[in-house]
Amino acid sequence: MTVVEAFVPAKVNLTLHVTGQRDDGYHTLDSLAMFADVGDRMTIIMPGEYRLTVEGPLADGVPVDETNLVLRAARMMGIRADIVLEKHLPHAAGLGGGSGDAAATLRVLSGFAGKPVPGGGIELGADVPLCLQSDAARVTGIGDVVTPVPNLPVLDAVLVNPRLPVLTAEVFARLKTKENPPMPAEIPAFGTAGELIEWLGGMRNDLQDPAIEAEPVIRQVFETLERTPGCLLARMSGSGGTCFGLYQDAETAGAAAGRLKEDSPSWWVTATRLNTQRRYT
């Protein structure tokens, strides 16, 4: 019997430009993403059955049947395993939780079997190839082209989610303009976090307005976060509904998170650091 424990970091889309839509319906993207030092945890036991148990503080609402990407990942690799998923990230939150969990499963089972992940995992979702790498990267195409962006500064951040799942398909359906400008061809070198944050201010998340239209509470989250002392930039991650704020240091981010937890106790709020290179364990 082999038992592997894995940490699954939250993915944060610092930018998300929707650049087009292919004939097959898939949207093309241009996104700069980082990974946080908060996330889910998994225990994978091999050999076993195709069996998934979900526990942890945010387990409610997470499916344990074949609709869960974790089980689909195990079946993709053709390896029977008993998997325990400990959920610490909100469900359907724009943080790549489900894709990250699937990517962790693919990574562990691939290593166990000594065979590659079919198609880089793109069949399971647009975020899976990125989550397989779990490093700062630029993502283009339909999510299948992942280009590492090394040497970016660490960012101090606060993540806020109103505990309301947001359906990606609904957000894309509300997107009025499918062809938008990409990021610059070259991402500059940044000497400090402040320089990176200033540059990010000129970028976009094209799904932010459609997500707010679908779930107006996201606007409240965004505006509340934006007003916290020391917030240098606020934006939505992915297709929502998690928003992030960026701060000059961990102390300022921690103070903002404490204030938000006190003022909005029903929301999921956490201070975190992005791009610390914490890897699966």
Strand partners, 274: 36, 155
Is 31 part of a structural domain of the chain? yes
Domain boundary among 147, 178, 199: 147
Residues 10 and 137 in one domain: yes
Is 156 part of a structural domain of the chain? yes
Q: What is the CATH number of the domain that holds 86?
A: 3.30.230.10
Q: Is 101 noted as a catalytic residue in this protein?
A: no
Provide the pLDDT for residue 278: 59
Residues 94 and 8 in one domain: yes
SS3 of 176-220? CCCCCCCCCCCCCCCCCHHHHHHHHCCCCECCHHHHHHHCCHHHH
Provide the pLDDT for residue 222: 92
**CA atoms in the 13 A half-sphere facing the CB of 264:** 19
Q: Is 11 noted as a catalytic residue in this protein?
A: yes
Q: Find out whether 31 and 138 touch, Cβ atoms under 8 Å.
A: yes
Provide the pLDDT for residue 281: 46
Burial 50-71 (b: 16+ CB within 10 A, else e): eebebeeebeeebeeeeebbbb
Task: Tokens for 59, please give them.
Answer: 């387990």
Residues 171 and 207 in one domain: yes
Per-residue pLDDT of the chain (281 residues; tens, 9 = 90+): 899 999 999 999 999 999 999 999 999 999 999 999 999 999 999 999 999 999 999 999 899 999 999 999 999 999 999 999 999 999 889 899 999 999 999 999 999 999 999 999 999 999 999 999 999 999 999 999 999 999 999 999 999 999 988 888 899 999 999 999 999 999 999 999 999 999 999 999 999 999 999 999 999 999 999 999 999 999 999 998 899 999 999 999 999 999 999 999 999 999 999 999 755 54
Count up the domains in the chain and report the number: 2
Q: Which of 30, 40, 101, 127 is catalytic?
A: 127
Q: Find out whether 237 and 221 touch, Cβ atoms under 8 Å.
A: no
Domain that holds residue 134: 2-147
User: What is the CB neighbour count within 10 angstroms for residue 27?
Assistant: 17
